[in-house]
Amino acid sequence: MKDTGFSAADILLPRKGIDMEKWAVVACDQYTSERDYWEKADSFVASSPSTLRMILPECYLEDDDKEERIRKADETMNEYLESDVFTLYPDSFILVKRDTESGTRYGLVGKLDLEKYDYSPDSLSPIRATEGTILSRIPPRKEIRKNALLEIPHIMVLISDEKRSVIETLSERRSELEKIYDSPLMLGGGHIEGYLVSKEEDKECIYKALEELEKELDKSNPLLYAMGDGNHSLASAKSLWEDVKKTLPDDEKDTHPMRYALCEIENIFDPGLMFEPIHRAFFDISYETFMEILSNHAEEILARNADSLDEAIRSINSTKQSFALVTGSEISIVTMRGTAKEMPAWTIQSVIDEMLDTNKGRVDYIHGIDTVMKLSENGALGVILPDISKETFFLSILRDKAFPRKTFSIGHANEKRYYVEARRIRK
């Protein structure tokens, strides 16, 4: 079977009897400005075994006790391994059913080959970033992984499987699979179920379906796996692997566990997978200055007033290179011609870069149109970006490379991946 970069793994899950609602915790990069969320999680978990005790929520990354928190996480991993907290499921996938406010979605947990991943902006690797990787974010995350015995991933990777041949063929007959967990998720995270995929015939079907997807790709630009969430975690794993690889004899490089990273793949066409654009709010900058900077990045700019927010949203979602500009109670539909790239988020990013370089304002990245509207009523200049199209998502990456940072979000914070599965990366 041809290696497509995603394979079964030796997966660790909490043994029967452990409270899964207390075990599973949302991704560490969520609620970074809401410490009370993590304090509630800490109180809810109490002394029960939990992935919370093996991670570092990013709201604590800048705290003075960061090193102590990392040390305690490493110690907890060792303690859980020695006290039989885990059950090992060797050479397996886990089919995941996740119920959220946006609907039900399915995923498949396995391991990615980091040799097939390149997070550089001009990457043509089979596994690649969908948004710009901020190199300064890698070292602190690498520090968390460097001495850890286990990886517990919140990484979610997208495949473009319009025929629904990889994951859906399993989800449709999940009643034939062994259910190995079934639990609500803490603090409004919905519900999760996991099914063991360990039979050789089932694994062979997955590999064959992935191989068929790979055959359809442009060999000079073979994008098979696009990052959905957790790119900086995967980039940290890649960077650490490159360090470790240099110390290994050749015969160990192919099988060393750090060459791989556990993740969940999901089909971009899953109806339960919701994409939301991340909007922008500009502060300390006038409308005139904003438009002047914008004119440096487009040959032609057409702006017209919208009668309503609904009209503006319909228009920007049906017209290329358009966005809505909100100033107070007025909404303009801005359409551009002659930009460097088709996606309006790229043009807005060029405006942001020039604005920051010339100290002409500041920007914030906003989830939700309602928040943009409220900020604009209080003096901000709001930019509402069009929806992210599932049909053109992969094509956009192939054409323009990775999106600018904070272009999209997959669901709300409580719909992000929860830590459940683990894998040993050191002996």
Type and span of the H or E element at 184: strand 178-185
Crossing angle (nearest 10°) for helices 66-82 and 138-145: 30
| Residue-range domains of the chain with CATH | 6-274+411-424 (no CATH), 277-388+400-409 (3.30.1760)
Structure tokens at 279: 């909007």
Q: Cα–Cα distance between 174 and 95 in angstroms, integer? A: 8
CB hemisphere CA count around 211 (13 angstroms): 10
Q: Cα–Cα distance between 219 and 215 in angstroms, integer? A: 8
Instruction: List, for residues 351-395, the tens digit of each pLDDT value.
Output: 999 999 999 999 988 888 998 999 999 999 999 999 988 888 898
CB hemisphere CA count around 169 (13 angstroms): 17
3-class DSSP assignment, residue 394: helix
DSSP 107: E
Crossing angle (nearest 10°) for helices 231-245 and 138-145: 60
User: Within its chain, how far is the Cα of 25 from the centroid?
Assistant: 16
Q: Given a cut of 70, is residue 1 above it in pLDDT? A: no
**Which of 231, 213, 200, 52 has the alpha carbon at shortest distance from 138?**
231
Q: Given a cut of 90, is residue 128 above it in pLDDT? A: yes
Task: Please state the rounded mean pLDDT for residues 400-424.
Answer: 88
Structure tokens at 9: 């793994």
What per-residue confidence (pLDDT) applies to 121? 85
Entry pTM: 0.88
223 and 122 in contact (C-beta within 8 Å)? no
Instruction: List, for residues 55-105, the tens digit of each pLDDT value.
Output: 999 889 888 999 999 999 999 999 999 999 999 999 999 999 999 999 999
Instruction: List, for residues 225-281, the tens digit of each pLDDT value.
Output: 999 988 889 999 999 999 999 999 999 999 999 999 999 999 999 999 988 899 999
Q: How far apart, in Å, do the first and last CA atoms of the chain sit? A: 28
Q: Cα–Cα distance between 204 and 169 in angstroms, integer? A: 12
Structure tokens at 181: 């967990």
**Which of 169, 172, 191 has the alpha carbon at shortest distance from 181?**
191
Mean confidence (pLDDT) of the chain: 94
**Which of 127, 129, 135, 158 has the alpha carbon at shortest distance from 239?**
135
Backbone dihedral region of 291: left (phi > 0), alpha (psi from -120 to 50 degrees) or beta?
alpha
Q: Cα–Cα distance between 216 and 103 in angstroms, integer? A: 30
Instruction: List, for residues 172-219, the tens digit of each pLDDT value.
Output: 999 999 999 999 999 999 999 999 999 999 999 999 999 999 999 999
Q: Cα–Cα distance between 184 and 96 in angstroms, integer? A: 13
**Which residue(s) pair with 196 in the sheet?**
94, 178
What per-residue confidence (pLDDT) applies to 137? 80
Structure tokens at 242: 């490159």
